[in-house]
Structure 1
Amino acid sequence: MFGKNTKVDLELNREVEQLLKTGGKERILPIVQAGEPVLRQQTVQYSGQLSKGTLNKLIDTMHTTMLEAPGVGLAATQIGLGLALAVVEDHVRDDEDDPREIAEFPFHVIINPSYEPIGDATRSFYEGCLSFDGYQAVRRRWLDITARWTDENGKQHEERLHGWPARIFQHETDHLSGELYIDKAEIRSLTTYENLEDFWCDDPVPTDAAEELGFEL
């Protein structure tokens, strides 16, 4: 648990309740877009500032908002809330030969997450962000990481993640430090979703894009 003596921040709790009401019956919130200051702020570590009921409603609303977008992860900053909390979920695609090594990543609530690389191996693939809507770019990330986080019940976790789940975890954890994926992406690879579909989606490894657009893998 987050501690028997943890004190709920009543003002913050009210603010979050008001935010959740804007999602309506559908429990879908607008996603903050690049340029809004909250996306560049270092989040506050979560230590039980919300009541259990409010935390559960927040998690449920974030999950619904993420799926509706659709996306595979959503950080609290992406709904305008500066707490170190995110939700993630992804499922296996049909193509077993996909070099991105997409694997089952069940729904997780990741609170106060952190990671460190295992080894030196990296991979570069196109990725996108719900807060940089309409675009993707190639981003190099660690292939294997040790991921650490606390769940919604206050239980601490440590797990080795590989491939695409590791990428998702890195992406969402970076959000909570005020970083967007585009900050360290190959900027010449930046493309609209439409052009990605038209030119570069046939090969997940962006070798042709690197040659044609002029960036290094």
Structure 2
Amino acid sequence: MSEFRAIIQLGDPILRQQATWVDNTQDEHIQQLIDDLTATVAKANGVGIAAPQVAASYRLFIVASRPNLRYPNAPVMEPTAMINPRIIAHSPEIVKGWEGCLSVPGIRGLVPRYQAVEVAYTDRNGKLQKQKLTDFVARIFQHEYDHLDGVVFIDRVENSFDMISEDEYQKTVFNHT
């Protein structure tokens, strides 16, 4: 049975650590972590979550794009566990886009990312997968991948004028009043 796990916040040293390689994808603890991360990202209205964000320092994250309160225009995809992921190629194009983070609540930043990435990862069944991701899903992957190396999105914001509060973001970008 999956459980919602507490999401650690910026300042917790685990968020700044290099995550540990997963040796056995079929380990009961890893399989439970995948289920818990999937439940946690859904309940928290996220589109991705990395294991370090729930104080589990493993090279594992979930990409779970879907429209929600925080990302109303997100494309729909099945939540996908990506274990020991890596970027094997990327587009030359870099685009800026707004990002937030469940571990950095209340702030959004305009972050430059590759427009497309080719990635490899092990799925929850232990099979090697390769995919080309573009646009918003590529952004999610790169954001979560950073968490595995102790990097948070605010580290990639080019200047402080590219950061706004979540409330301003919602009003400005989605014209909510």
TM-score, length-scaled by structure 2: 0.88
Check the 8 A contact 2:26/2:124 in 1, yes or no.
no
Unaligned runs of 5+ in 1: 1-24, 203-217
Q: Counterparts of 1:41 and 1:150 in 2: how far apart (Å)?
A: 21
Q: Which residue of the partner structure matches residue 78 of structure 1?
A: 53
Query: SS of the counterpart of 1:44?
Result: coil
Deviation, structure 1 residue 116? 4.2
Give the 5 Å matches for 1:54-93: 54-91=29-66
CA root-mean-square deviation:
2.0
Q: Aligned partner of 1:185: which letter?
A: V
Q: Which residue of the partner structure matches residue 164 of structure 2?
A: 191
Kindly name which structure, 1 or 2, has the bigger radius of gyration based on alpha carbons.
1
Q: Which residue of the partner structure matches residue 107 of structure 1?
A: 79
Give the 5 Å matches for 1:136-215: 136-186=108-158, 187-202=160-175
Q: Which residue of the partner structure matches residue 118 of structure 1?
A: 90
Q: Which residue of the partner structure matches residue 21 of structure 2?
A: 45
Q: Which residue of the partner structure matches residue 32 of structure 1?
A: 8
Q: Aligned partner of 2:37: which letter?
A: M
How many pairs are equivalent? Answer: 170
- What stretches of structure 1 move > 4 A for 4+ residues in a row? none
Check the 8 A contact 2:51/2:60 in 1, yes or no.
yes
Q: Aligned partner of 1:61: which letter?
A: D
Check the 8 A contact 1:117/1:142 in 2, yes or no.
no
TM-score, length-scaled by structure 1: 0.72
Query: SS of the counterpart of 1:164?
Result: helix
User: Which structure has more RCO (C-alpha within 8 Å, separation ≥ 6)?
Assistant: 2
Identity of aligned residues (%): 30
Q: Counterparts of 1:194 and 1:107 in 2: how far apart (Å)?
A: 27
Check the 8 A contact 2:10/2:104 in 1, yes or no.
yes
Q: Which moved further from structure 2: 168-177 or 180-189?
A: 180-189
Deviation, structure 1 residue 55? 2.2
